[in-house]
Structure 1
């Protein structure tokens, strides 16, 4: 592994150099173990510690099959599905791996008593399986997390509708929080040349998800002048949704949970910001009873900011905590578009506001290949910027996941793989120099430092 890393960190390397290095028999990966799946039984979700289940272990290197690629991972990032996996909520992910192996015979290698997590990466193609022509050893890449078989007609209109659609690193094994990773070759996209490894690894999942949710025909299709309410606007998803809304000519109303996060979204160009902690919005009277009075107060605050307008689109992802308010505040004929439920899956809302207001709830999930490619292009040309706030070493992956679980972060939290430090891998310094302030906007302290464990 050291020989691979040394070559990749040299000023220039060739495919021939990489091809001469034997693929190691094992590598280090961030894993959860099937034997630990009951370790948090009886412990409330908010008190479960990802660092207790997530560990760095040697795992056997999988051989890429037809249409697959083995990637040397320079950096990855933490997504909320990593948190869910590491606290075994809502269920251990080993059921996903077993079903994958049963449904797709070539996927039997994914059914293991360990699960290598991670649904983002930036890195270098190390080897490819039979039939791969688009990519070769030495290509610098990022990966989107759609793993799909396209075995059903449904998936050929929108691959997210395929019954065999899965999220790599969550519903499949050998994810990106590791030194190596196994992907389908059609998950790979060109690495943005002006970004460092850890910066380019931050955007794949969240930026693609926000793109589908807001821009795509499969989402809300926002337009010039729309008012877009964005929950968690300084978080992983929301920080990209804010940028997308602004670039599309919409008016974001950004909901955050601290003054620091309010400053971050204002620095992105957002004018209307609601600090829900400072204004003490409590949408539930108790764990079982929503509080419509708070929905109305919240809707009134939005109108104060927008000059009397209700949101045309609500960008939903917290779920249980906020869905009742989201349905209430959306304008008549408006759209609530949801992609997650980080505060809980069982939602309550007053359906009168939905049907009598002719509103729509649209479910979206990640992005199809085309949407992911378009979202990556926006990163590559400097239209949308990564919102990386902190970078951990692979040894501290559990601490990084703990931070996201506790919402003690802004934007995205990165994790280095084979890259020994931040700031490496930049191939277009001129483009980078034009956007350096935006690239570093969310970073804490020295952008070339690793966050201390």
Structure 2
């Protein structure tokens, strides 16, 4: 791996020289173990500690198949799916790997007693399998996390509808929290030249998810002038939704939990902000009973900010805690777009406010290749910026995951893999200088 790192660090290594580098028989990776699946039984979710279940160890290099690529990973990032994997909730991911392993002899590679996790990367292509023509060894890339087989007709209108659609590094093996990752070539996109490795790795999953959920015709179909309610507006997903609303001529109404997060939203250009802590919003009277009076109070706060207008699109991802309020405050004919459900999957809402007012609930899950490419293109052009607040070493990945699990972070948390330090990998210093403040907006928060 040192020879590979040296070739990357040189900055001018030819593709043929990368192709000639010998591949290691094993590589360093972050894993969970099948034998550990029951280790947290009896504990509340909040008490399950990823530091106990995430291992950093050497694993065997997987066989390279048709249409695939091996990528040297300079940096990756933590997403909530890595937290779910590490605490074996809502289910163990080894069930995903077992089912994928039954698809074909080639996918059997993924069904192992360990799971290499991680759904983001920035790095350099080392090898490509038969049939790959667009990408060559030496190309600097990022990867989106949609893994599809596309042998079924259902996937050829929208690849997210492929019956074999999976999230790489969560529902497949050989993810991005490692020194080497195995991806399908149609996951690859050009690395933005003005970003460091850790900055380039961090937008991936959340940026593409926010693009589809809010902008795409498969999601909210946001247009100029829309009022967009963004929950967690300075967080991993919300930080990108806020940027897309501002970038697309909409008006974000940003919901945050403290003044520090409100300041981040203002620095992005958002003006309409609701601090949930100050407002003391309590949408649930108890675990089983919501409080419609709080929905109404929340709607009044929104109309006060917007000059009497209701919400056109709700960018929903907290789930159970907020969903009833989201449905209530959406305008007649408006749209609630939903993904993730980090506070619980069993949503409850008063259907009268949906059905009698012709509102729509639109489900959204990650993004197809076209949507991911467009989202990455906007990052590469300096229109959308990373939300990286901190980067950990791979040895400290357990702490990084714990921070996300306990919401003790802001924006995205990065992980250095092969990169020996932060700040490396910038190729376009001029473009970077133009956007340096925006790139560093979340740093240290």
TM-score, length-normalised on structure 2? 0.99
Post-superposition CA distance 1:93-130 (Å, at most 9, x none): 00000101112331110000100110000000011111
Listed as ranges, the gaps of 5+ residues in structure 2 are: none
Which residue of structure 2 aligns with residue 18 of structure 1?
A: 18
Which residue of structure 2 aligns with residue 162 of structure 1?
A: 162
Shift of 1:236: 0.5
Shift of 1:278: 2.0
> Does the 8 Å CA contact 1:13/1:138 hold for their aligned counterparts?
yes
Which residue of structure 2 aligns with residue 336 of structure 1?
A: 336
> How do residues 290-305 of structure 1 correspond to structure 2 at under 5 angstroms?
290-305=290-305
- Equivalences, count: 445
| 1: CA distance, partners of 2:437 / 2:159 | 36
> How do residues 36-435 of structure 1 correspond to structure 2 at under 5 angstroms?
36-435=36-435
| 2: CA distance, partners of 1:19 / 1:373 | 26
Does residue 1:35 correspond to 2:35, yes or no? yes
Listed as ranges, the gaps of 5+ residues in structure 1 are: 446-453
| 2: CA distance, partners of 1:23 / 1:372 | 29
| 1: CA distance, partners of 2:51 / 2:21 | 34
Q: SS of the residue aligned with 1:301?
A: helix
Shift of 1:294: 1.2
| 2: CA distance, partners of 1:398 / 1:258 | 26
Post-superposition CA distance 1:223-258 (Å, at most 9, x none): 111000000111100000000000110000001111
Shift of 1:9: 1.2
| 1: CA distance, partners of 2:23 / 2:99 | 29
Which runs of at least 4 in structure 1 moved beyond 3 Å after TM superposition? none
| 1: CA distance, partners of 2:23 / 2:199 | 26
Which residue of structure 2 aligns with residue 449 of structure 1?
A: none
What is the Cα-based RMSD across aligned positions, in Å?
A: 0.9
> Does the 8 Å CA contact 1:63/1:70 hold for their aligned counterparts?
no
Post-superposition CA distance 1:166-196 (Å, at most 9, x none): 0000000000011000000010000000100
